[in-house]
A and B are shown apart, each in its own frame.
Chain A
Amino acid sequence: MSDIKNILFSGVGGQGILLASELTAASLLFAGFDVKKSEVHGMAQRGGSVTAQLRYGTKVYSPLIDPGCADIQMAFEEMEAVRYLPYLHRGSIVIVNTQHILPPSVATGQATYPENVLDELVKRDIQVIGVDAFAIARDAGEVRTANVALVGALSVHLPVDEAVFENIIESRVPERFREENMKAFAAGREAGNQ
């Protein structure tokens, strides 16, 4: 049987999901895995619910994750952690940014944001790791490092040396924010170790 692992990224268009998935993919590639990633551009990016699908292993054919096969989900928003439930299985790990972004129906008072929405995952034996990425980023000195903090939390669950991730992030982020990004990554790793 194949050794392919699947990571589903989910969130709201504009949250920096593509960058986070790029950093993760690059790290896995440098660690020696075959990696494929699928994303959708265009209509999907205008503040709607978005995903990126990443698969790695010795040899990856399909760029798409099958329902029930996401081993890890990296969710950038709580409700978006639950929306793709059919992709998860018992024992999946969900790393979730504990943030609420209100969809139009909630913002205009037509619907309400579901309470304790992450319980839907816990009661299905899915391991939930909450990360307050905004707080980590703020403490690191730059709020825009939130997605690097999330990559940090994800990185502890991947078979890649910390140093590989650090090198990739150092080479990909703007030099003037390097220190803040490295701080956010380190704090994210701690938060991911739950």
Chain B
Amino acid sequence: MTAKLNEDTFWMSGNEAIALGAYEAGVAVASGYPGTPSTEIMENLATYDGVYTEWAPNEKVGLEVAIGASFAGVRALATMKHVGLNVAADPLFTASYTGGRGGLVIVTADDPDMHSSQNEQDNRNYALAAKIPMLEPSDPAEAKAFLKTAFELSEMFDTPVLLRITTRIAHVKGVVERGERVSPATAPEIEKHPEKFVMLPAMARRRRIFVEERMKRCAELAETTGLNVVESGETKRGFITSGVSYLYVKEAFPEAAVLKLGMCWPLPEKKIRDFAASVDLLYVVEELDPFLETRLKAWGIECHGKDVIPSIGELNTAVVRNSIDPERNKKDLFAPVELPMRPPNMCAGCPHRGIFFNLSRMKLFVSGDIGCYTLGFLPPLNAMDSTVCMGASIPMAHGMVKALGEGAHSKVVSVIGDSTFVHSGITGLINSVYNKSAATLIILDNRITAMTGQQPNPASGSDIHGAVAQSLDLEALCRACGVKHVRVVNPHEVPECRKVIREEVERDEMSVIISVAPCVLLPELKLRKPVSYFTNIDNCVGCTSCIRLGCPAISWTPFAEGEAEARGYKKSQKGYSRIDEVLCNDCGQCASLCKFNAITRGEGKS
């Protein structure tokens, strides 16, 4: 949600600002894969006219699309979360050699503290490893400005440029000024430049030398660019910092001299040496790895860094202040009060719940994957035993079965969502078939990339604009991969699903179960008026079958001492279950489990 303050001033998130920046920079082609905290960049860019945007099936494809567009002479953007850049690392490292024609910028959105991620890798290391310049803004206004600068640098130095943001840039809102849309210098046309577009060894060896020289020239620019600025102040304690850490330094030590590095790779050695010489005590304040500090130490510059500042998790003003000067603004804090935890949960009516309920009862090793369904790990379902990265579920199950030997296929099952399967699960499935695995795969097809906020994917039947698109036929795809046994189930029919899962798990050949039911958060499902289920309290025997689903709409009401008998129930009954009619989303999983006719769909009930 963007607020307009006046004709040219807006209040927007870092991601919205990057989208505006891409539009103003004249980006013509943009591709990405959804991933928190990067998703809203492409979602917002898709609302601007004159920019081609798309959701790619994964980040590698997204970056390759952008490289192609750059070769064709237009400005191109690829967006992804930090772990997405691992997937896109292959094209990234060679695009460093090729450069492009139109500017090429990659946004990497890192997630320190792992708010919604499986690790907290510091992607500044990619700039070093791939020999690519990296810019690092501190707030939404800078995010927009730096993205535009990144395109200029890309064309000036014939290099891809990385823009690194973190959660506290992406999902922070601040004031942003609108600018003019520029017309890039290059026009779209076919030009052949084999010496830089075809990376055969002979050409790559020449470009390897170019890369080295280019980074030297970039380092010279780093000395003079306005991206790297010294803010004068008290020199008793001086700070070198970048990204969001700069803001924490400004609040914790407003009086101090600061060297703010908007360009965090390559580094301006002379500027840093001069600044270091101008202060008595130098602190390097950065989130995660000692990326800047390591360079300084290699140059023999004395400084404090990770000896006092944590390298794990996010920083904030208090952490920066207390790490460096614990006596300043000392506060006695209230200790937390112990409360029941409130972890995230699958939604009421979520189709994944039925599958995980079954898996939780079957004593299998569940090789899981990345998406909403990773929440199947949490109690009361506790039905996920491993999660590593996008697409890992299928090969990991295969590896386990090969390790465990004969009969192991009936003890291990892999579970993956539709979007994750298309992202990087298909090759794993092909491997399983090719190498004679017999571990069952369950594809949870809810028609959408749900965890990041319902973005369409190649199996959804619609594109980024909601227009009709070819829908990938997952069943036919599995068969084409060589899977002989493919079964489609409705996850809301819980006992029926259990039967199918049991049969397929026992089977001594590779099988796939596709569980098909749409995400309840899909706009078209939110528009329908769900009919609520309700408990016939007279029939409820308190068996807790429905409670064990862990549905947010179902709660347990315990009986007080003697209440069961007084109300005409068996003395041993401990309580009854109740369905919240407002929260119920009409899936019927609870009713399919109830053996006592105590749960009915409220048709005709007002």
Contact = CB atoms under 8 A, between A and B. Distances in A.
Contacts of B343: 48, 103-104
A178 interface: no
Interface in B14-53: 36-37, 39-40
Given A36-B172, A48-B345, A106 B552 contact: no
A35 interface: yes
Chain B, interface residues (CB within 8 Å), range: 35 or more
B453 interface: yes
Interface string B537-572: 000000010011010101110100000000000000
B3 A49 contact: no
A67 interface: yes
A64 B168 contact: yes
B423 interface: no
A84 to B, nearest CB: 8
Interface in B344-369: 344-347
B379 A104 contact: yes
Interface string B436-463: 0000000000000001110000000000
Contacts of A160: none
A153 B378 CA distance: 36
Interface stretch (B60-68, B207-215, B328-336): B328-336
Contacts of B336: 83, 85-86
A26 B115 contact: no
A174 interface: no
Given A36-B173, A88-B334, A109-B547, A42 B251 contact: no
Interface string A151-164: 00000000000000
A89 B331 contact: yes
Contacts of A2: 251, 254
Contact of B334 (A35, A86, A108, A113): A86
A68 B412 CA distance: 48
B419 interface: no
B342 A79 contact: yes
Contacts of A124: 334
Contact of A38 (B172, B332, B555): B172
Given A38-B172, A41-B116, A85-B334, A46 B347 contact: yes
B171 A41 contact: yes
A108 B556 contact: yes
A25 B334 contact: no
Given A40-B115, A63-B247, A108-B550, A82 B337 contact: yes
A67 B168 CA distance: 17
Interface in A78-112: 79-80, 82-83, 85-86, 88-89, 102-112
A25 B173 contact: yes
A102 B555 contact: yes
A108 B547 contact: yes
B317 interface: yes
Contacts of B340: 79, 103, 105-106, 111-114
Nearest to B115: A40
A62 B334 contact: no
Contacts, number: 175
B283 interface: no
Contacts of A48: 342-345
Contact of A107 (B339, B372, B552): B552
A43 B451 contact: yes
Chain A, interface residues (CB within 8 Å), range: 35 or more
B8 to A, nearest CB: 14
A85 B347 CA distance: 28
B247 A61 contact: yes
Contacts of B342: 12, 47-49, 79-80, 83, 103-104
Contact of B172 (A34, A37, A107): A37
B335 A86 contact: yes
B116 A67 contact: no
B380 interface: yes
A193 interface: no
Nearest to A79: B339
A32 to B, nearest CB: 10
A47 B552 contact: yes
A113 to B, nearest CB: 7
A22 interface: yes
A177 interface: no
B316 A62 contact: yes
A28 B77 CA distance: 34
Given A48-B342, A62-B247, A62-B316, A38 B168 contact: yes
A39 interface: yes
A87 to B, nearest CB: 9
Contacts of B337: 82-83, 85, 120
B474 interface: no
Nearest to B451: A42
A61 B250 contact: yes
A66 B332 CA distance: 12
A69 B331 CA distance: 9
A48 B347 CA distance: 11
Contacts of B344: 13, 43-48
A62 B36 CA distance: 21
A29 interface: yes
B202 interface: no
A92 to B, nearest CB: 10
B21 to A, nearest CB: 18
A132 to B, nearest CB: 17
A36 B244 CA distance: 13
Interface string A105-129: 1111111111001001000100000
B175 interface: yes
Interface in B97-119: 115-116
Nearest to B553: A107
A29 B3 contact: yes
A25 B332 CA distance: 29
Given A48-B342, A109-B558, A22 B552 contact: no
Most chain B beta-carbon neighbours within 10 Å: one of A34, A61, A103, A107:
A107
Given A25-B3, A44-B116, A62 B558 contact: no
Interface in A41-79: 41-49, 61-64, 66-69, 79
A86 B333 CA distance: 6
Contacts of A108: 380, 544, 547-548, 550, 555-556
Contact of B552 (A38, A104, A113): A104
16 contacts: A26-B11, A36-B139, A37-B172, A41-B39, A41-B171, A42-B36, A47-B344, A47-B345, A47-B552, A62-B247, A67-B318, A67-B331, A68-B332, A68-B334, A104-B550, A108-B544
Report, nearest first, the 9 A-B pairs whose CB atoms are least far apart. Answer: A42-B116, A42-B36, A48-B344, A46-B344, A109-B556, A66-B318, A43-B116, A107-B555, A63-B172
